[in-house]
């Protein structure tokens, strides 16, 4: 968590084209646990090892994509303080009422210069990870249903003005830069990986003319062997894979990217390293971006670079 009190990615709300098909996909293939449905027709999921009520929410819509990403902060006082910092910085915020999202408190919502809706919240009901708080086992049956990632880990968003986005995350919210890709001019940052913890990314952005686009939501796996198992399950269920299994040079993460039935890309990955705010940001240059993207193959995969939802 950041010293500002921003803890972690808390939830993403994703638009899907067909709700029933998507529920089946996220529950049976991805192996998320359904934790609720609300009167707006939204369906709530969590990963098996998450404690909070939900981290991934889907709603039916005519077009795929991301509605918003929310980060959990330490407590309501922190939320208020960050809201005030955002406003002082010139970011307009608005409050969404407690209960608008199931089992979730008030959220402070704002629009990023990249066109994405982003929010902070301090309260979400803990439902546990299926294991007792006393003498728990290391995993439970839920850990083997479907691809069964551990947690919703981060998202990569595409949109304009990421230099301004970066300022909000670094100067106001207390994130730090972990890695970046710079353009051929060796100066302009075209991709930024930001952490509010010692993860290699809690959120990332790529410069892109169209605002508010989703490249992928990412789910953490426990091992390289579990990434392979995930790929097997994708194949068994005719999930369309984009790239992988492979390793990124960027973040060192070991990964598969695929699409949900609506064309929202998701990632199942493991690995990376443990950066801290005192670490220098690592830089990837365009002449070596192939290695950054797909380390073994050193290839720029066209679909990966261009398709967003």
Question: Is residue 129 a contact partner of residue 49, using CB atoms and an 8 Å limit?
Answer: yes
The verdict on 245 binding its own copies (CB under 8 A) reads: yes
Q: Classify the C-alpha dihedral 59-64-67-71 as positive or negative.
A: positive
Residue showing tokens 């990412």: 218
Contact 282, 296 (CB under 8 A): no
Q: Which residues, 32 to 61, sit near its own copies by CB under 8 A?
A: 49, 51
154 catalytic? Reply is yes
Q: Residues 11, 15, 109, 151: which binds its own copies (CB under 8 A)?
A: 151
Closest CA to 10 of 220, 195, 202: 202
Torsion of CA 131, 136, 140, 142, to 10 degrees: 30
Active site residue 11: no
Q: Does 274 bind its own copies (CB under 8 A)?
A: yes
Regarding 8 and contact with its own copies (CB under 8 A), the answer is: yes
- As a whole number of angstroms, the distance between CA 61 and CA 290 comes to 35
CB 271 within 8 A of CB 247: yes
Applying CB under 8 A, which part among 22-30, 104-112, 208-216, 242-250 lies near its own copies?
242-250
Does 282 sit near its own copies (CB under 8 A)? yes
CB 100 within 8 A of CB 11: no
Cα 268 to Cα 251: distance, rounded to the nearest angstrom: 14
218 binds its own copies (CB under 8 A): no
At 267 the three-state DSSP class reads: strand
99 DSSP 8-state letter = T
Instruction: Give first-to-last CA distance, the chain, whole Å.
Output: 29
Considering the complex, state which of residue 160 and residue 266 has its C-beta at the smaller distance from its own copies: 266
Please report how close the Cβ of residue 12 comes to its own copies at its closest, in angstroms.
Answer: 18
Give yes or no for residue 279 binding its own copies (CB under 8 A).
yes
Binds its own copies by CB under 8 A, chosen from 16, 156, 177, 234: 234
Decide: is 241 part of the binding site for its own copies (CB under 8 A): yes
Q: Which of 53, 154, 208, 215 is catalytic?
A: 154
Out of 39, 92, 238, 306, the residue judged to bind its own copies by CB under 8 A: 238
Residue 150 makes contact with its own copies by CB under 8 A: yes
Q: Is there binding between residue 4 and its own copies (CB under 8 A)?
A: yes
- Residues 171-200 as x/- pattern, contact with its own copies by CB under 8 A: --------------------------xxx-
Least distance CB 134 / its own copies (angstroms):
5
Say how many residues make up the chain.
Answer: 309
CA atoms within 13 A on the CB side of 300: 9
Tokens representing 299 are 């290839």
Q: Which residues bind its own copies (CB under 8 A)?
A: 1-5, 7-8, 49, 51, 72, 74, 126, 133-139, 144, 150-151, 197-199, 222-225, 228, 231-232, 234-236, 238, 241, 244-247, 249, 252, 254, 256, 271, 273-274, 276-285, 288, 291-292, 295-299
Active site residues: 154, 201, 216, 248, 257, 267
């Amino acid at each position: 968590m950041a010293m500002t009190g921003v803890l972690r990615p808390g939830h993403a709300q994703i638009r899907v084209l067909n709700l029933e098909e998507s529920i089946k996909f996220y529950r049976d293939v991805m192996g998320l646990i359904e934790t609720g449905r609300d009167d707006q027709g939204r369906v709530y999921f969590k990963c098996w090892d998450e404690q909070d009520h939900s981290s991934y929410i889907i709603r039916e819509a005519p077009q795929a994509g991301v509605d918003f990403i929310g980060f959990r902060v330490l407590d309501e006082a922190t939320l208020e303080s960050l809201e005030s910092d955002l406003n002082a910085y010139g970011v307009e915020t608005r409050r969404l009422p407690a209960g608008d999202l199931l089992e979730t408190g008030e959220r402070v919502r704002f629009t990023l210069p990249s066109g994405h809706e982003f929010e902070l919240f301090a309260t979400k009901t803990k439902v546990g990870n299926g294991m007792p708080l006393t003498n728990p086992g290391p995993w439970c049956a839920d850990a083997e249903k479907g691809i069964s990632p551990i947690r919703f880990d981060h998202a990569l968003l595409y949109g304009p003005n990421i230099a301004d986005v970066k300022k909000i995350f670094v100067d106001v919210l207390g994130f730090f830069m972990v890695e970046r890709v710079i353009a051929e001019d060796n100066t302009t940052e075209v991709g930024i990986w930001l952490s509010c913890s010692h993860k290699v990314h809690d959120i990332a952005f790529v410069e892109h003319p169209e605002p508010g686009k989703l490249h992928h939501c990412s789910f953490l796996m426990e091992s390289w062997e579990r990434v392979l198992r995930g790929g097997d399950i994708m194949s068994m269920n005719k999930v369309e894979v984009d790239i992988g299994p492979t390793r990124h040079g960027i973040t060192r993460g070991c990964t598969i990217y695929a699409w949900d039935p609506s064309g929202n890309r998701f990632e199942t990955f493991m690995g990376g390293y443990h950066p801290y705010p005192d670490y220098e940001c690592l830089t990837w240059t365009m002449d070596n971006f192939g290695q950054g993207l797909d380390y073994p193959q050193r290839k720029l995969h066209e679909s990966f670079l261009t398709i967003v939802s």
